[in-house]
Amino acid sequence: MIRLLSLLNFVAVWFHNSKARRFVECEESVKFTRNAFVYNHGDKKNIKLGSHVLIDGIIECYEKGELIVGDFSYIGRARVFAAHCVDIGKGVYISDGVVVMDSDLHPISGRKRYDDLVAWRRDGVFPDVYTDIIYKKTVLADFVWVGANVSILKGVTIGEGAIIAAGSVVTKDVEAWTIVGGNPAKLIREIPEHER
């Protein structure tokens, strides 16, 4: 019975991996867990995953967006939105509950947001994530570690080796080899050479 359950689990994971691969450019070494979802509203080439990437969360790329994830990076049960460009380096750890965005995704106008929602729910017209919406490239450099339940907002660059404390809201650039935390995220300390 245990062998049968193991075989069924293997088949389910294999099926999920092969299905997710249809929407991204990636090598065979990339893995998608059963929790992973890929929403690609554009072309397959808009999402590029490096070797040995592990996706356990949701990645979503819009028609004009670009999502790049470097080798040996991990995206936990998080959500990454790319309407413009999200560039995640190699060896990056993104913990559960994290949100990474490069856009507001919705207009400032409450009336426009309402009209978009009505059109989406009533008529099946997906909301326009470009007209009158601010977007800026978001970058997580190599070896970044993002703690649980962090929000990383549009236009932010997180420098190499930086650590973002759990529950933080990152609204501004983060220097390389630093630890930041809070809402908004502020410098806690630098990471000395011997800890890098």
Do 151 and 170 form a contact (C-beta atoms < 8 A)?
yes
What pLDDT does 126 receive?
87
CA quadruple 167, 52, 40, 128: dihedral sign: positive
Enumerate residues 6+ apart whose C-beta is below 8 A from 16.
Answer: 32, 33, 34, 36
**Integer Cα distance of 116 and 102 in angstroms:** 20
At 146, phi and psi to the nearest 5?
-110, 115
Higher pLDDT, 93 or 17: 93
Read off the pLDDT band of 100 (50, 70, 90). Answer: very high
Alpha carbon distances (Å) from 155 to 87, 102, 140, 182: 11, 6, 11, 18
Read off the pLDDT band of 16 (50, 70, 90). Answer: low
Question: Is 106 in the active site?
Answer: yes
Written as six digits, the tokens of 15 are: 């099926």
User: Which amino acid type is present at position 88?
Assistant: I
What pLDDT does 20 receive?
84
At 80, phi and psi to the nearest 5?
-115, 120
CA quadruple 98, 67, 139, 101: dihedral sign: negative
Q: What is the pTM of this model?
A: 0.89
**Integer Cα distance of 195 and 143 in angstroms:** 13
Q: Poorest-confidence range of 1-15, 26-40, 81-95, 136-150? A: 1-15
pLDDT, tens digit, 9 for 90 and up, residues 101-128: 999 999 999 999 999 999 999 999 988 8
Read off the pLDDT band of 9 (50, 70, 90). Answer: very low
Written as six digits, the tokens of 44 are: 């397959």
- The active-site residue out of 41, 52, 106, 194 is 106
Rounded mean pLDDT of the chain? 92
Q: Poorest-confidence range of 18-22, 32-36, 112-116, 126-130? A: 18-22
pLDDT, tens digit, 9 for 90 and up, residues 137-158: 999 999 999 999 999 999 999 9
Q: Does the pLDDT value for residue 129 go beyond 80?
A: yes
Helix H or strand E encompassing 123: helix 110-123
Alpha carbon distances (Å) from 46 to 24, 67, 68, 173: 7, 6, 8, 25
